[in-house]
Amino acid sequence: MLGMLVGAALAVSGAIMHDLNLTAMFADQMMMMKSGRIRARGAPGDVLTDEPMEAVFGCRLQGGVAPARDVPFVLPQSAAR
């Protein structure tokens, strides 16, 4: 519903979300920050890649794509590098 309203009004909406998988399901664009600085931004499929996620979170994360909806997702791989 929000997406339809934003699209119809040519408006922009923003949200701060910490669940990367949920963000990927609903966002057209996203950005990842660390220590107040933007580390990656763009479409979820471009941002949720291994290198920027490891740099931001300090542990191994792996991105993939859910084939049913063509939506990127994130899986933690380990708590240590």
In-domain check, residue 8:
no
User: Residue 37: inside a domain, yes or no?
Assistant: yes
Q: What is the pLDDT of residues 45-63, one digit of tens each?
A: 899 888 888 888 888 887 7
For residue 6, tell me if it sits in a domain.
no
**Enclosing H/E stretch for 71:** strand 71-76
Count of domains forming the chain = 1
Task: Determine the Cα–Cα distance for residues 48 and 42; give it in Å rounded to an integer.
Answer: 9
Determine, yes or no, domain membership for 4.
Answer: no
pLDDT, residue 13, reads 74
Q: Which residue type, as a one-letter code, is found at position 11?
A: A
Q: Are strands 61-66 and 37-42 parallel, antiparallel or unpaired?
A: unpaired
Domain span at residue 26 reads 16-76
Distance CA 72, CA 21 (A): 7
Residues of the chain with pLDDT under 50: none
Residue 30 lies in a domain: yes
Q: Cβ distance 63 to 53 under 8 Å?
A: yes
**Whole-prediction pTM:** 0.71
